[in-house]
Chain A
Amino acid sequence: MKALRKFFDNIKPSFEEGGKLHAFRSLYEGFESFAFVPNTTSRRGSVNVHDAFDSKRLMSFVVIALVPALLFGCYNIGYQNALAAGKLSEATFCGMFIYGLLAMLPKLIVSYVVGLGIEFTVAQWKKEEIAEGYLVSGIIIPLIIPVTTPLWMLALACAFSVIFAKEIFGGTGMNIFNVALIARAFLFFSYPSYMTGDCSVWVSADPILGFGYTALPDALTAATPLGAAAAEGFAGFDCPTIEAAVIGLIPGSMGETSVIAIGLGALLLLYTGVASWKTMLSVFVGGAATGFLMQSVGATEIEWWHHLVVGGFCFGAVFMATDPVTSARTEGGKWIYGLLIGFVAVLVRVLNPGYPEGMMLAILLMNLFAPLFDYFFVQSNINKRLNRAK
């Protein structure tokens, strides 16, 4: 730790005004403040209290919470590849994991290079401090897209979402919509054939650097649980799929499949207080209630609790709905915001045959309404207090 501090102190002069590397000042500041809590304090005379747990520390907790889902995603990519090749019995755990890692890593790198590149450029250009928001978005974006997404599409989507969902609104903390979800929405509407469909989208079919296998052509006609459900009316939806969905060994976006891995992340977020338990709980309650309603009126045959474990429901509820920037901030607002996300997500799944998965659309829609919920709750508090004062 001391060596790192010394290194930062040593190279600092060349980044200051007039130094050789002044053009990369924002890059230096970004990495320094990510590694160490900045040494600045409030000016004398003001009463601000600064917590060392600032937004960069908060973001790094979210990144740590995402690690289980990321690691399990790597393993699942290798597992699905071996399964599709019919060589599950001879594949080793390490081989499958390394194969998945090799499939995941380029996407992580592209996402970070493009997104952070734009952020650093804008920060340098506007002479602002580097914003930290993309640290989380950059790891979430690869986790919510299929493994076969071409890298250039990913780069395009990252650039689009950072520019049009974030920088235009004023950067981190000002965005109305979740940046990672806008990237996915862009891909979803621009290149639908690459984002939904049967397993040729969800399973990586070719060996990478000697790891993995070439998939059998027949094996790529199966679909994700939700895709199958949308196509066949939940006929192929039985208990083994649910067990597999909880463990996560099913085809799907790279990091969304395992309920257990996401649950580990959720525990960390809740324990550290980074994510609001009210938002998280109310998303599940809203989804379950709507699923129960849909089942009891006969709109669908799926059990109400199945909705909560398949597709991106868990991932969305834990990591996207609780985004502190785009979710509701008043305590009452969080309940309504979460309930409506669960409601809309299940509603889209059941009633719209065009979209097997509704979580992305639900969260984006409620992002839009979150400030309205906050406004109503703040106004009602103001009115209550005014009445009390009368």
Chain B
Amino acid sequence: MSKLFSKESPLVSPLNLNNPVAVQVLGICSALAVTSQLEPAIVMGLSVTVITAFSNVIISLLRKTIPNRIRIIVQLVVVATLVTIVSQVLKAFAYDVSVQLSVYVGLIITNCILMGRLEAFAMQNGPWESCLDGIGNGLGYALILVIVGFVRELFGFGTLLGFEVLPSSWYVTNGMMVMPAMSLIIVGCVIWAHRAINGEEKK
């Protein structure tokens, strides 16, 4: 159990030292698109976590039977199926959020983190490790999304999850925070802080 939560385990390392967004700089596009408010950012993060976890497990189980030359297409089929399921679940149980996320749920298929984890981890490791790796990377991605969504909604709208935090009587909302350009700057600041704390990797 102690090994499960150690710094190098597949579950914990993507949260900090090997974060998919802050260190590997993957999945930036959706981090810019869905983070103007906190709620879609959380839902998006959780959806990606579920999809990476299940797709990692499935591909890991199939890894010895997939012919090498067509592995990408097999991975895509698995991911696309899972994305469709998640998208339908969202439409059924959280319609408002799924409207807000619009095409970006469908575009999880093209999220670099998914294919990256499948190629780099699930094709070489057993299902249990792959499952942990998928959950860890999904949560690492969700963590950055939540930070960016928190800052952007707080300063861009003065609200958090729709509740007014900074009262509009004296707080002037910052229009730039709502623009995708600002989320790129915030992601940059998160990476800056991350490197300042952990030190730049020496390769």
A residues contacting B by CB (< 8 A) are: 153, 164, 186, 189-192, 194
Contact A164 B185 (CB under 8 A): yes
Contact B185 A190 (CB under 8 A): no
Contact B185 A189 (CB under 8 A): no
Can you list 15 contacts pairing A with B, beta carbon distance less than 8 Å?
A153-B172, A164-B185, A186-B176, A189-B175, A189-B176, A189-B179, A190-B174, A190-B175, A190-B176, A190-B177, A191-B172, A191-B174, A191-B175, A192-B175, A194-B172
12 further contact pairs, Cβ within 8 A, besides A189-B176, A190-B174, A191-B175: A153-B172, A164-B185, A186-B176, A189-B175, A189-B179, A190-B175, A190-B176, A190-B177, A191-B172, A191-B174, A192-B175, A194-B172
For the complex, would chain A's binding face be called helix, strand, loop or mixed by DSSP majority?
helix
A153, B174: Cα distance in complex, Å: 10
Chain A residues, Cβ within 8 Å of B177: 190
Residue of A nearest to B192 (CB): A168
A164, B176: Cα distance in complex, Å: 14
Residue of B nearest to A156 (CB): B174
Chain B residues, Cβ within 8 Å of A153: 172
A190, B155: Cα distance in complex, Å: 10
Contact with A along B158-175 (1 / 0, CB 8 A): 000000000000001011
Q: What's the minimum C-beta distance from B96 to chain A, rounded to whole angstroms? A: 28
A189, B185: Cα distance in complex, Å: 14
Residue of A nearest to B181 (CB): A189
Chain B residues, Cβ within 8 Å of A191: 172, 174-175
Residue of B nearest to A164 (CB): B185
A189, B178: Cα distance in complex, Å: 10
For the complex, would chain B's binding face be called helix, strand, loop or mixed by DSSP majority?
helix
Q: What's the minimum C-beta distance from A154 to chain B, rounded to whole angstroms? A: 13
Q: What's the minimum C-beta distance from A82 to chain B, rounded to whole angstroms? A: 29
Q: What's the minimum C-beta distance from A37 to chain B, rounded to whole angstroms? A: 37
Q: Specify which of A189, A190, A191, A194 lies most central, judged by the most chain B CB atoms within 10 Å of its CB.
A: A190
A311, B96: Cα distance in complex, Å: 44
A327, B176: Cα distance in complex, Å: 26
Q: What's the minimum C-beta distance from A2 to chain B, rounded to whole angstroms? A: 47
Chain B residues, Cβ within 8 Å of A192: 175
A190, B156: Cα distance in complex, Å: 9
Chain A residues, Cβ within 8 Å of B174: 190-191
Q: Which 4 pairs between the two chains have the least Cβ-Cβ distance?
A: A190-B176, A189-B176, A190-B174, A190-B175
Residue of A nearest to B156 (CB): A190
Q: What's the minimum C-beta distance from A370 to chain B, rounded to whole angstroms? A: 20
Q: Specify which of A153, A189, A191 lies most central, judged by the most chain B CB atoms within 10 Å of its CB.
A: A189
A190, B179: Cα distance in complex, Å: 9
Residue of B nearest to A187 (CB): B176
A254, B177: Cα distance in complex, Å: 26
- B residues 184-202 near A (Cβ < 8 Å) are 185
A372, B179: Cα distance in complex, Å: 27
Residue of B nearest to A153 (CB): B172
Chain A residues, Cβ within 8 Å of B179: 189
Q: What's the minimum C-beta distance from B187 to chain A, rounded to whole angstroms? A: 13
Residue of B nearest to A189 (CB): B176
A191, B177: Cα distance in complex, Å: 10
Chain B residues, Cβ within 8 Å of A194: 172
A359, B103: Cα distance in complex, Å: 36
Residue of A nearest to B179 (CB): A189
A192, B177: Cα distance in complex, Å: 13
Q: What's the minimum C-beta distance from B175 to chain A, rounded to whole angstroms? A: 5
Q: What's the minimum C-beta distance from B153 to chain A, rounded to whole angstroms? A: 15
A263, B185: Cα distance in complex, Å: 38
- B residues 121-176 near A (Cβ < 8 Å) are 172, 174-176
A146, B185: Cα distance in complex, Å: 26
Chain A residues, Cβ within 8 Å of B172: 153, 191, 194
A283, B91: Cα distance in complex, Å: 54
